[in-house]
Structure 1
Amino acid sequence: MDDRQHPRTAFKILTAAQWAQFEAEGLFKGAPVDLADGYIHLSTADQVQGTLDKHFAGQSGLVIAEVDLAPLQSLIKWEVSRGGALFPHIYGDLPMTAIIGHVPQIKAR
Structure 2
Amino acid sequence: MLSAAQWAQWQADSVFTGAPVDLTDGYIHLSAADQVTETADKHFAGQHGLVIARVDLSALGDAVRWEASRGGALFPHVYATLPLAVVAAHQAMVRDADGGVVLP
Provide the TM-score with structure 2 as the length reference. 0.88
Pair 1:71-2:41 in alignment? no
What are the Cα deviations for residues 30-71 of structure 1, in whole angstroms up to 9, with x where unaligned?
A: 000000000000000000001000000010100000000111
> Which residue is equivalent to 1:41?
29
The alignment-based identity, stated in percent, is 60
User: In 1, Cα distance between the equivalents of 2:73 and 2:14?
Assistant: 30
Q: In 1, Cα distance between the equivalents of 2:59 and 2:43?
A: 27
| Structure 1 segments of 4+ aligned residues over 2 angstroms from their partners | none
More strand by share: 1
What are structure 2's unaligned runs of at least 5 residues?
100-104
Residue by residue over 1:77-107, the C-alpha shift from the partner in whole angstroms, topping out at 9 and shown as x without a partner, is 1000001100000001011000000121547
Q: Aligned pairs, how many?
A: 96
Q: Point out the more displaced range, 97-106 or 54-63.
A: 97-106
TM-score after normalising by structure 1: 0.84
SS of the equivalent of 2:42 reads helix
Q: Distance in 2 between matches of 1:86 and 1:40?
A: 14
Task: Report whether the alignment pairs 1:32 with 2:4.
Answer: no
Matched, 1:15 2:15: no
RMSD: 1.3
Number of the residue aligned with 1:52: 40
Q: Is the 8 A contact 1:63 1:105 kept in 2?
A: yes
Question: For 1:86, which of 52, 74, 83 is the aligned residue?
Answer: 74
